[in-house]
Amino acid sequence: MTQNRPQVRKLVIDAREEGQRIDNFLIKQLPGVPKSHIYRLLRSGQVRVNGGRAKPERRLVSGDEVRIPPVRAADKGEAVRPPDAALNRLREAVLYEDEHYLALSKPAGWAAHAGSGLTYGVIEAVRAWERYAFLELCHRLDRDTSGVLLLAKSRSALLRAQHAFRQGEADKRYFALLLGRWRGEDRDVDAALLRDALVSGERRVRIDEDDGKPAKSRFSPRQKFRDAVLCEVRIFSGRTHQIRVHAAALGHPVAGDEKYGEHEANRPLRALGLKRMFLHAHFLGLPAAGPFPKLLLNAPLPEELRDVLDRLPRG
């Protein structure tokens, strides 16, 4: 198939697109282009808003003119349609739907969106159902984390959810199996987090009170075992890998976490059938706001994680 040479594009933002961050707008306008390249375009000033440079966090307003330079996604071609089995798997994962939102219990192993070598994620698969004129992720979950994932069916619903997340009004709770013998009851971790990139390109997050972003987590034990504890974790911010880094800082890494935990410490759990990280987003609540009623969403613990709990030795 003959490909046209990419051209400079100048797009005028309308009311439907108002409020978007420029980086998220570009990600949608340039499907198949790695996010790292999109941020490089912003840093180098090749993307312009009303003739001037724009930082990734800049929010667009109606009437803004966005200049997008010629960009070709190498070896991408047509968008990849997920296989029918994947589409059906997500249909079975629907937790809730109304006129504003669609909520799924995301299976572990699914990325929220395409990228990093993945041709599709949850958002691409659900769009392939071809049922929605508008559909966007309200937030994200790590690929290895299962549980409640909320998608918006309108721009106003998206902005309502994003506002709740940004202002700390969302109630986000996870179940996490932590390694080690837990002493006492609830523990709070209030430690700023900074995203790093190692020489190998692997993304990691570390505690850094000087340059990091504020992050707070509350760990509440729900079921104690001989060498582990099932905690409900409430997060008051939404930083990348927040629970995993905070849990490791407590000396109780998340079971199955090979990045922030220890390979040998996970060996007994693998013998009990744990084939993934034991982290599950089990509850999400949003307060009422304007025309949007209160939203309370629950995702039961997956069977493969319940089975591991049943096999754990008690002490």
**Domain boundaries defined on the chain:** 9-68, 84-161, 170-311
Gap between the Cα atoms of 213 and 237, Å rounded: 9
Top-tier CATH class for 9-68: alpha beta
List for the chain the helix, strand, coil content (%; round to 5). Answer: 20, 30, 50
Gap between the Cα atoms of 31 and 119, Å rounded: 10
Range list of β-strands (E), 93-179: 94-97, 101-106, 136-137, 146-152, 171-179
Gap between the Cα atoms of 122 and 158, Å rounded: 16
Gap between the Cα atoms of 136 and 297, Å rounded: 18
Question: Does residue 24 sit in helix, strand or coil?
Answer: helix
Q: Would you say the C-alpha torsion 267, 217, 237, 214 has a positive or negative sign? A: negative
**Which amino acids are annotated catalytic?**
142
Q: Render pLDDT for 24-45 as a digit per residue (tens, 0 to 9).
A: 899 888 877 777 788 888 988 8
Q: What is the mean pLDDT of residues 248-256?
A: 96
Query: What pTM was estimated for this model as a whole?
Result: 0.75
Q: Render pLDDT for 210-231 as a digit per residue (tens, 0 to 9).
A: 999 999 999 999 999 999 999 9
The CATH code belonging to domain 170-311 is 3.30.2350.10
Whole-number pLDDT of residue 43: 87
The answer to whether the beta carbons of residues 281 and 146 sit under 8 Å apart is: yes
Q: Which residue has the higher pLDDT, 30 or 309?
A: 309
Gap between the Cα atoms of 293 and 157, Å rounded: 11
Whole-number pLDDT of residue 80: 65
Whole-number pLDDT of residue 245: 97
CB atoms within 10 A of CB 274: 20
Nearest of 312, 300, 148 to residue 229 by alpha carbon: 312
Q: Quick check: do 9-68 and 170-311 share a fold?
A: no
In the beta sheet, which residues pair with residue 11?
Answer: 66
The second-level CATH assignment, the architecture, of 84-161 is: 2-Layer Sandwich (3.30)
